[in-house]
A = this chain, B = another copy of it.
Amino acid sequence: MTGLSIIESLKPEDRKKIWVVIPPEVMGEILVQLHVEVARGLIEITEQKDLIKAVESLESDDIIDLLHVIPEPLCSKVLESIGVQERKRLESALSYGDDTAGGLMSLDVLTVQASQSLDEVLQDLRKRGSMPKATDNLFVVDQLDLFQGVLPISVLLTHDPLLMVSESMDPSIDGIPYQMSAEEVALLFEHRDMLSAPVVAENGRLLGRITVDDIVDVIRSQTDHSFMSMAGLKEEQDMFSPVIVSAKRRAVWLGINLLTAFLASWVIGLFEATLEQIVALAVLMPIVASMGGIAGSQTLTLVIRGLALRQISRINAVQLFKNELSVGAVNGVLWSFVVASIGGIWFQSVGIGLILGGAVIINLICAAFAGASIPLILQKMNIDPALAGGVLLTTVTDVIGFMAFLGLATLFLL
């Protein structure tokens, strides 16, 4: 375990005991790496002057991250304590959305001019005495700060110092527009194996720089988000939140799911007369619902991931539906045969077997259709498919499962 996991794996009370002995200069570095919820808990018990020291010890992109976590009015007070010029830069950076390129970027950028020689650049660097973290490229700008390309550090180190920046730079690199979503920036970094990238305004002016360490956090929280959302949890959820806090949050999810469960019960209730006559149906009906739920959640998971990785578009959506419906049909036929045989033998009834098999086919095909269409529709409506998809899917597979099985039985067995 690293130091950070140790802090997160402690109970809130024990965390606080450790926190008070940590020097303020180190606090900032720790806070930006903790889950939001854990960080908030610690910020609450930090003295204002220590918090200011903690913030001041950070680089600007980390300061911005941390300011997003500090509640008002504390956040404004911390901002006030920072020097005027730095504050202006931070305030403009804070105005970008947290999950956009603008929100991710750092303001610590090393720029050079195309008219300099490599040797001049080297001398400037030596005068500066330090470089921002993860500097693999220097950014080439003109007098108006318009972004023109990059000068890789590797070129600077390995090429003849008498060369000009204009001869050595790579003008083919584009700046990332500041409005680009964090997810898309992450995919760009992944596909191009980048360590840092320039962020530009609409007019091409260089605004800042995104570094790969922040992208790693985006990727972690992005996939974490889908995983946790499927169970109605938030990715910043703290394993050791106070019981009442956890219970309250999860109660909401249980309540939403209870509506689904009651809807399914209501469907079963419609067939009470049928169940009274053939009790075997009550024994077998969960099988139909459960098979539909499992098959549907496979399609749902695949489509949610495809959407997150931007692999699903208008062009291939039709193909996706065809594929999933075919898979549903193939498995429907296969498993309905198995289920029908077992059910028929168990209750010594060909009729029950046939109806069970028929209901499984129907539900598996509907499950495939629901699993593929629900996330696409939710995405269109700007609702998170990972959060709402599972509940909706279960509603569909439960309702259709019970209705198909008990409905077929009412039609053919009574």
A220 (CB) vs chain B CBs: closest residue: B219
Q: Is A289 an interface residue (CB 8 A)?
A: yes
A282 to B237, CA, bound (A): 36
Residues 185-227 of chain A, each 1 if its beta carbon lies under 8 Å from chain B, else 0: 0011111010100000000000000001101110110011011
A309 to B236, CA, bound (A): 13
Which of chain B's residues have a CB closer than 8 A to the CB of A156? 157
Residues 309-351 of chain A, each 1 if its beta carbon lies under 8 Å from chain B, else 0: 1111101100110010011001100110011001000100000
Q: Is A105 an interface residue (CB 8 A)?
A: no
Q: Judge whether B191 and A2 touch: CB under 8 Å.
A: yes
Q: Judge whether B335 and A251 touch: CB under 8 Å.
A: yes
Q: Judge whether A193 and B213 touch: CB under 8 Å.
A: yes
Q: Judge whether B323 and A157 touch: CB under 8 Å.
A: no
Which residue of the partner chain, among B133, B240, B289, contacts A319 with CB atoms under 8 Å? B240
Which residue of the partner chain, among B269, B286, B310, B316, contacts A11 with CB atoms under 8 Å? B316
A243 to B335, CA, bound (A): 16
Which of chain B's residues have a CB closer than 8 A to the CB of A188? 2
Q: Is A366 an interface residue (CB 8 A)?
A: no
Which residue of the partner chain, among B275, B287, B315, contacts A261 with CB atoms under 8 Å? B287
Q: Judge whether B4 and A191 touch: CB under 8 Å.
A: yes
A29 to B224, CA, bound (A): 28
A136 to B136, CA, bound (A): 7
The distance from the CB of A186 to the nearest CB of chain B, in whole angstroms, is 8
A398 to B287, CA, bound (A): 11
Q: Judge whether B212 and A190 touch: CB under 8 Å.
A: no
Q: Judge whether A301 and B230 touch: CB under 8 Å.
A: yes
Which residue of the partner chain, among B187, B227, B291, B310, contacts A254 with CB atoms under 8 Å? B291
Which of chain B's residues have a CB closer than 8 A to the CB of A128? 158
**Listed residue (A130, A246, A286, A326) with the most chain B CB atoms within 10 angstroms of its CB:** A286
The distance from the CB of A168 to the nearest CB of chain B, in whole angstroms, is 13
A224 (CB) vs chain B CBs: closest residue: B223
Which of chain B's residues have a CB closer than 8 A to the CB of A282? 268, 275, 279, 282, 285
A289 (CB) vs chain B CBs: closest residue: B286
Q: Is A284 an interface residue (CB 8 A)?
A: yes
Which of chain B's residues have a CB closer than 8 A to the CB of A130? 154, 158
Q: Is A377 an interface residue (CB 8 A)?
A: no
A258 to B286, CA, bound (A): 10
Which of chain B's residues have a CB closer than 8 A to the CB of A251? 330-331, 334-335
Which residues 163-194 of A have a CB within 8 angstroms of B?
187-191, 193
The distance from the CB of A226 to the nearest CB of chain B, in whole angstroms, is 6
Which residue of the partner chain, among B10, B224, B261, B298, contacts A231 with CB atoms under 8 Å? B298
Which of chain B's residues have a CB closer than 8 A to the CB of A3? 191
Given A157-B125, A187-B2, A220-B190 in contact, is the A275-B279 Cβ separation under 8 Å? yes
Q: Is A117 an interface residue (CB 8 A)?
A: no
Which residue of the partner chain, among B131, B193, B195, B315, contacts A158 with CB atoms under 8 Å? B131
Q: Is A53 an interface residue (CB 8 A)?
A: no
A122 to B122, CA, bound (A): 11
Q: Judge whether B327 and A227 touch: CB under 8 Å.
A: no
Residues 265-286 of chain A, each 1 if its beta carbon lies under 8 Å from chain B, else 0: 1001100100110011011111
Q: Judge whether A301 and B254 touch: CB under 8 Å.
A: no
A334 to B258, CA, bound (A): 12
Given A2-B191, A212-B216, A223-B223 in contact, is the A239-B297 Cβ separation under 8 Å? no
Question: 8 tightest CB-CB pairs across the interface, nearest first?
Answer: A223-B223, A282-B282, A231-B301, A193-B213, A131-B154, A247-B330, A243-B326, A261-B290
Can you list 24 A-B contacts with CB-CB less than 8 angstroms, sorted by A residue number? A1-B310, A5-B310, A8-B309, A8-B311, A9-B315, A33-B190, A122-B157, A125-B158, A153-B153, A193-B213, A212-B212, A216-B216, A216-B219, A226-B227, A232-B294, A240-B320, A240-B323, A251-B334, A254-B294, A254-B331, A264-B286, A264-B287, A282-B285, A286-B286
